[in-house]
């Protein structure tokens, strides 16, 4: 099987995340994709909403072909990708793993902790805006810094321009977020009063 792994803060997961996951599934023929909310990303401050809320929001947001994993949250502490791919390699020793990232993360991937081992364990699948002139830059970067250690695939897709921080700001300001997150996630956010007091 082809197993996709998609990590992030997901605070909240938005339609940009969903479109990226769906594009990765189509592009790589993924049979199963795990959504992995981070306990505490090495690159970001702690989450605004609770672990339980983020897990629920992910379950409400991503398609049924995706499974939400609490592995990084249950493990606790900093979430290092190398530890996560080791875990899934142990679970799926004969299957092919794919780690899914956006173009911004690809361009700093050689700064990730033990990135060489990540690339030796999983195919890196990076998204770039369809028709973007950055495609050549990404390919050059991958050739220079990453492909000596493993496979890097760069896929084109139509992005959805929104950020989790902008969604949190809009909710806090009482502004509409319709269409920016999945309808069921929007309902949950409003019912639970998430992000109102940021």
CATH number at 37 reads 3.40.50.620
Number of domains in the chain: 1
In a domain, 82, yes or no: yes
- Which range marks the domain in which residue 148 is found? 2-161
The position carrying tokens 């139509």 is: 158
Strands 2-8 and 96-102: parallel
Q: In a 10 Å sphere around its CB, with 0-12 CB exposed, 13-18 middle and 19+ buried, how is residue 72 labelled?
A: buried
pTM of the model: 0.93
Residuewise pLDDT in 10s, the chain (198 residues): 999 999 999 999 999 999 999 999 999 999 999 999 998 655 555 558 999 999 999 999 999 999 999 999 999 888 899 999 999 999 999 999 999 999 889 999 999 999 999 999 999 999 988 877 788 999 999 999 999 999 999 999 888 889 999 999 999 999 999 999 999 999 999 999 999 876
């Amino acid at each position: 099987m082809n197993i996709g792994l998609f990590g992030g803060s997901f605070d909240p997961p938005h339609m940009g995340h969903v479109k990226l996951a769906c594009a990765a599934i189509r592009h790589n023929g993924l049979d199963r994709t795990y959504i992995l909310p981070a306990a505490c990303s090495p690159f970001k401050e702690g989450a605004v909403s609770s672990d339980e809320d983020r897990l629920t929001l992910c379950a409400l947001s991503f398609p049924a072909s995706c499974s939400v994993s609490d592995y990084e949250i249950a493990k606790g502490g900093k979430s290092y990708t190398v530890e996560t791919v080791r875990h899934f390699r142990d679970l799926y020793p004969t299957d092919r793993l794919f780690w899914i990232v956006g173009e911004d993360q690809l361009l700093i991937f050689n700064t990730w902790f033990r990135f060489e081992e990540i690339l030796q364990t999983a195919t890196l699948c990076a998204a770039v805006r369809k028709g973007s002139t950055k495609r050549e830059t990404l390919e050059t970067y991958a050739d220079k810094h990453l492909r000596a250690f493993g496979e890097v695939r760069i896929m084109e897709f139509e992005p959805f321009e929104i950020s989790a921080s902008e969604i949190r700001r809009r909710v806090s300001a009482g502004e509409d977020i319709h269409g920016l997150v999945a309808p069921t996630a929007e309902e949950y956010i409003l019912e639970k009063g998430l992000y109102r007091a940021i």
